[in-house]
Structure 1
Amino acid sequence: MSNKKKIFISAAVLFCSMLTQAQESSIQKKKSSKDPIFSNATYVGDDQIYKSNPLKEDEFYSPILQGCYPDPAITRKGDDYYMVCSSFAMFPGVPIFHSKDLVNWTDLGGVLNKVSEFNPHDTGISAGVYAPGITYNPHNDTFYMIVTAFTGGLGNIIVKTKDPKKGWGSPIKLAFDGIDPSIFFDDNGKGYVVHNDAPDKGKELYQGHRVIKVWEYDLEKDQVIPGTDKIIVDGGVDLSKKPIWIEAPHLYKKDNHYYLMCAEGGTGGNHSEVVFISDSPKGPFKPASNNPILTQRYFPQNRPNKVDWAGHADLVLGPDNKYYGVFLGIRPNEKDRVNAGRETFMLPVDWSGTFPVFENGLVPMGPKLKMPKGVVNKTGKDGFFPNGNFTFIENFTSEKLDYRWIGLRGPREHFISIVKKGLQITPFAVNIKELKPTSTLFYRQQHNTFSFSTTLEYKPESEKDLAGIVCLQNENYNYVFGVTRKGKDTYILLERTENGQSEIVSSAKIDAKGALRLQVKATGDNYQFSYALNGGDFENLGNPVSGDILSTNAAGGFTGALVGLYATSSNNSHPK
């Protein structure tokens, strides 16, 4: 080939490349010109219980993680504590926190943060991934996170790392069925996996009959050893009483005895924690005579400041050489609805006798605990996760977005970008009612009384365009509060979706010349949606609506309510 020809071809390739880049730039510019920009967001928690119970110097609040952070599991290496929780179809999967003292926690994001390895893109919000276990193995200086994933045919998986602050390895698929796995390492370095499973085929005795299995674990191959599985608990503490949903097992070793601690009774009003003892990690296990060791099921349903559903626990030795337990519980609103979801609570544990017992875990729980000796409460300061009543202000000026902002069924990074004016959302052609990743930046509802507000710059170009706020329990139960078009006019609307059926509650034609402010303010079960035009005061869009559809009581499932910054180019919510 001649040099002239080479030069000509090179020039042609370069021209085509420049043309393509120019076209892409033009497309991007055109696309971004209509994309909504959220210049700020503010969440304010204002629950009365915290006003009535201010902290003293040596106290901290429980729950330690408010909002939908259920199924906690915890481990320790030296003076470093790591805790994980369920995340379902939220993304990233398996939120993880770090602490030096069990009081002040730092959010490290999610363990499963690669969509190529964990992709809940087509699952209901209560599927995805849940009930993790986390264990530090001192024999090889390695952390293990084991969990059940209901997506992509993953099933039970395990991931490892030397340092949870630096990320995790790829998921390893494990060869067993069932849910709620955890891993235990004995003094001699041997590994064991315990999990919930169905009874042997043909031996199921009643609805909710489950068993706990143990497997030996091969640390070299990172697999359970075939043929080593054994049922170590059948049904629960007393099979004759037909206990349901023995689950969330954890193995411990203390004073040359092996302890198996499990949840029993289902993750609702009958939830509890029970414990068994054995001379071997493979049993036989004998139940404690004083089971349950934690429950809130025995008390009047109308008790004030109710904490309920306590169970699904894990134990760790604290900085004061005393045991503590983390577990899930709920704080329903005044109509006994569960909107904030199942949260992570903590209690000290008395293990001075043969069996561990949660201190004050068998009486109605209060909101405050004594801190381990020498600890200073820094929650909500210096980058530590807040609890109690707090205000979270986000101006979208930091390059690193707070980990409390999450995606649904996919990464938030697929639709957000930080621009000069704030956070820009590039809308997906997906609306909030579809089983697909949505272009919604979500924040967990963490109080029964709260407000969430944002400032929005947006000019919808058609009826297919909508941006605003969404309050979501799941794809079939939610409120959409946003701005769209009808003909040549701009409208603001509130849509209620219950059991998949949608209706416009209120709508109004607006003339928004500048930024539009949107707000949802909940006082228990009453949710009021308001907007402010052109720097004016907030005005209500219709009357307060019920938060019933944002509760698990109505919607079912396992998650708490989420509130999010939402945009779609596939809107089907049309004003009256």
Structure 2
Amino acid sequence: MNKQKNGHAMMFSVFLALFALTGMQTYGQKNVPVFSEFVYQGNDDVYKEYQLEDDEFYNPVLQGCYPDPAIVRKGDDYFMVHSSFAMAPGVPIFHSKDLVNWRQIGHVLDRPSQLKVHDTGISAGVYAPAIKYNPHNETFYMITTQFAGDFGNIVVKTKDPFKGWSDPYKLKFNGIDPSLFFDDDGKAYVVHNDAPDPGKELYQGHRVIKIWNYDLENDQVVEGSDKIIVNGGVDLSEKPIWIEMPHIYKKNDKYYLMCAEGGTGDWHSEAVFISDNPRGPYEPAPSNPILSQRYLHPRRNNKVDWAGHADLVKGPNDDKYYGVFLAIRPNEKNRVNTGRETFILPVDWSGKWPVFENGLIPLEPKLKMPEGVENKTGQNGYFPNGNFTYKENFTSDKLDHRWIGVRAFPEEFASTSKKGLTIMPFEENIKAMAPVSSLFHRQMHKSFSATTTMKYKPKSEEYLAGLVCYQSETFNYVFGITKKDKEYYLLLERTEKGESTILASTLIDIKKPVQLQVEADGDDYRFNYSVDGENFQNLGGTVSGDILSTNVAGGFTGALIGLYATTANDAVPE
């Protein structure tokens, strides 16, 4: 496994070195953009109103599109993974010692042999990873569903998450949201969401939870061992929908099955079941759901909603459990531009059932830290939290892990040098369901600004480079420089449901680097530019961020801010 990983890493290193050299050589070419700076600044009111005390930290712990969290602990080390859909690399992985301060250590699916999402929509690809540790063979496992590349359900493994993961093992079962469970006796199991048996579907959204015995020697489910352990959900008579993302835990010789229920929207929740045997039968807790925001006033202050898709872990002091889960923070128009984010709550498991503390009342923006923990977020490589400023000049040899591609690994089109970031444009534009030559950063606040400095001289009207705000291939804004006849233009294009409209365009002086900026105040977005490095002008007025919202565009991702180039531009200045 390590030899295989090292081989792929060496190939990527050679490719990256060659491309970096190419990037430096093409800096002088006038049709290749070079981005010399990027500044992202968050400005949410909630973080101004709720100042942290010394023993507090902010919730969500990861802002922006880091959905479907799953967590594991080995010794003092916590590892957490998230869905990545058609983003590349896939499955971001974070490390912590205390559940408060997190560093991104990379991605689990970090090379093409593991991730094949080049021809799929933004919300397909990699769904709902689960990460587990098997003490019997001292191995970490990440199991997930990849709706692309003829993969389906897969598992990868490693002895050390800091050193990379194996190529995928394809698993022989249908359904989604798989999770592994390793029992004290060394036996292993897979649980997952699936459709009911043929002919037994009772209503739309009727799903089941299945369990299989798992063969650790061959990394495969045992044929014929599948069994339905939950039919429909907590109470089938109430027609529960979308029972999914199961996890099994063992405590006091009892087996607990925890699942999301209600779909990943405003009826989302978490439910728990108990059994004397990992293969069931399972009985639901009388107090289900144990986590949800669905019963609350729709116009509550600092609204957090859609809570569910949870995973449990022991806290750093071993005397308390914690649960990580997804939820959303809609803006003033109830739009979800930051996507599904990662939240955390303490869990009281002193009795028979685990209970999320304050998980059924409005979630607060901040929490008390575990005893003895110091808040170091935003320092020494720990991920920032609250309102923060992130600056990047792209002169390091490697990109920060927060930068991603869509359907294409950044190494395929982006390189860094002393001049900044060079993007070699693909012959596809941002609206294609194909690899996109755009380097993306997640939108992490409802109110923010993102500013980049770009040197670019497009060759023709097919060439364009600049900023994009991207929810999907059919919902996005393009704010870029192109050419028409012999003149250079800056334009703003809005694409909704695949239909594009030029909102505004203007002649622009490109003799010097141009600064491009998007700033948002909730649903109000403004696109600005500067040709002198000091004075900004607006183009297109105030526009709506509606098309950047998950609940308008559909799908499962949050908005992304991209540094973009193409040689297949179809946006023509007016």
Say yes or no: TM over 0.5.
yes
Deviation at 1:131, TM superposition (A): 0.3
Q: Name the structure 2 match of 1:123.
A: 120
Q: Distance in 1 between matches of 2:569 and 2:404?
A: 22
Deviation at 1:137, TM superposition (A): 0.7
Deviation at 1:553, TM superposition (A): 1.8
CA contact (8 A) 2:456 2:510 kept: no
Aligned amino acid, residue 158 of structure 2 = T
* 1:510 corresponds to which of 508, 511, 531: 508
CA contact (8 A) 1:512 1:534 kept: no
Q: Name the structure 2 match of 1:269.
A: 266
Q: Name the structure 2 match of 1:280.
A: 277
Deviations 1:108-132 (A, max 9, x none): 1210111133110000000010100
* 2:383 corresponds to which of 385, 395, 406: 385
* 2:525 corresponds to which of 524, 527, 530: 527
Q: Name the structure 1 match of 2:15.
A: none
2:351 pairs with 1:376:
no
Aligned amino acid, residue 104 of structure 1 = N
Aligned amino acid, residue 384 of structure 1 = Y
CA contact (8 A) 1:115 1:410 kept: no
Q: Name the structure 2 match of 1:3.
A: none
Secondary structure of the residue aligned to 2:540 is: coil
Q: Name the structure 2 match of 1:498.
A: 496
Q: Distance in 2 between matches of 1:55 and 1:26?
A: 43
CA contact (8 A) 2:30 2:456 kept: no
Structure 1 residues 26, 253: CA separation in 2 closer, same or farther (over 3 Å shift)? closer
Structure 1 residues 25, 148: CA separation in 2 closer, same or farther (over 3 Å shift)? closer
Deviation at 1:27, TM superposition (A): 13
Secondary structure of the residue aligned to 2:452 is: strand
Q: Which one is further off, 295-304 or 238-247?
A: 295-304
Secondary structure of the residue aligned to 2:541 is: coil
* 1:340 corresponds to which of 331, 334, 338: 338
Q: Distance in 1 between matches of 2:501 and 2:399?
A: 34
Deviation at 1:25, TM superposition (A): 8.1
CA contact (8 A) 1:476 1:499 kept: yes
CA contact (8 A) 1:445 1:560 kept: yes
Aligned amino acid, residue 480 of structure 1 = V
Q: Distance in 2 between matches of 1:511 and 1:362?
A: 55
Q: Name the structure 2 match of 1:89.
A: 86
Normalising by the residue count of structure 1, what TM-score does the alignment of the two structures yield?
A: 0.95
List aligned pairs for 1:434-453, cutoff 5 A.
Answer: 434-453=432-451
Secondary structure of the residue aligned to 1:380 is: coil
Q: Name the structure 2 match of 1:143.
A: 140
Normalising by the residue count of structure 2, what TM-score does the alignment of the two structures yield?
A: 0.95
Deviation at 1:31, TM superposition (A): 8.6
Q: Distance in 1 between matches of 2:204 and 2:510?
A: 56
Structure 1 residues 165, 380: CA separation in 2 closer, same or farther (over 3 Å shift)? same
Q: Distance in 2 between matches of 1:30 and 1:167?
A: 33
Deviations 1:254-288 (A, max 9, x none): 00000000000000000000000000000000000
Secondary structure of the residue aligned to 1:50 is: helix
Aligned amino acid, residue 519 of structure 1 = Q
Q: Distance in 1 between matches of 2:366 and 2:315?
A: 17
Structure 1 residues 413, 26: CA separation in 2 closer, same or farther (over 3 Å shift)? closer
Q: Name the structure 2 match of 1:7.
A: none
* 1:45 corresponds to which of 38, 42, 63: 42
* 1:486 corresponds to which of 484, 489, 499: 484
* 1:460 corresponds to which of 438, 458, 461: 458
Q: Name the structure 2 match of 1:538.
A: 536
Aligned amino acid, residue 366 of structure 1 = E
Q: Name the structure 2 match of 1:299.
A: 296
Aligned amino acid, residue 80 of structure 1 = D
Secondary structure of the residue aligned to 1:34 is: coil
Q: Name the structure 2 match of 1:316.
A: 313
Q: Distance in 2 between matches of 1:388 and 1:242?
A: 39
Q: How many residues align?
A: 554
Deviation at 1:139, TM superposition (A): 0.8
Deviation at 1:513, TM superposition (A): 1.6
Deviation at 1:33, TM superposition (A): 4.5
Structure 1 residues 359, 25: CA separation in 2 closer, same or farther (over 3 Å shift)? closer
2:186 pairs with 1:169:
no
Deviation at 1:418, TM superposition (A): 1.1
Deviation at 1:536, TM superposition (A): 3.9
Deviations 1:405-449 (A, max 9, x none): 001001001111112211110111110000111100000000000
* 2:548 corresponds to which of 529, 550, 560: 550
Deviation at 1:28, TM superposition (A): 6.4
List aligned pairs for 1:100-119, cutoff 5 A.
Answer: 100-119=97-116
* 2:356 corresponds to which of 355, 358, 369: 358
Q: Distance in 2 between matches of 1:404 and 1:177?
A: 32
Q: Distance in 1 between matches of 2:497 and 2:277?
A: 49
CA contact (8 A) 2:429 2:569 kept: yes
Deviation at 1:358, TM superposition (A): 0.2
Deviation at 1:512, TM superposition (A): 2.3
Q: Name the structure 1 match of 2:393.
A: 395
- 4+ residue segments displaced more than 2 Å: 24-34
Structure 2 spans left out of the alignment, 5+ residues: 1-17
Q: Name the structure 2 match of 1:8.
A: none
Q: Distance in 1 between matches of 2:194 and 2:525?
A: 40
Deviation at 1:535, TM superposition (A): 2.8
Q: Name the structure 1 match of 2:428.
A: 430
2:209 pairs with 1:212:
yes
Deviations 1:544-565 (A, max 9, x none): 1000000012100000000010
- What's the C-alpha RMSD, in Å, of the aligned pairs? 1.4
CA contact (8 A) 2:87 2:405 kept: yes
2:183 pairs with 1:195:
no
Q: Distance in 2 between matches of 1:294 and 1:69?
A: 19
Q: Distance in 1 between matches of 2:26 and 2:479?
A: 27
2:131 pairs with 1:134:
yes
User: Radius of gyration: which is bigger?
Assistant: 1
Deviations 1:24-64 (A, max 9, x none): 98996599442100000000011000110011111111111
CA contact (8 A) 2:256 2:272 kept: yes
Q: Distance in 2 between matches of 1:536 and 1:163?
A: 48
Structure 1 spans left out of the alignment, 5+ residues: 1-20
Aligned amino acid, residue 187 of structure 1 = D
Secondary structure of the residue aligned to 1:439 is: strand
Q: Distance in 2 between matches of 1:397 and 1:385?
A: 20
Aligned amino acid, residue 68 of structure 1 = C
Secondary structure of the residue aligned to 1:266 is: coil
Q: Name the structure 2 match of 1:566.
A: 564
Aligned amino acid, residue 68 of structure 2 = D
Aligned amino acid, residue 131 of structure 1 = A
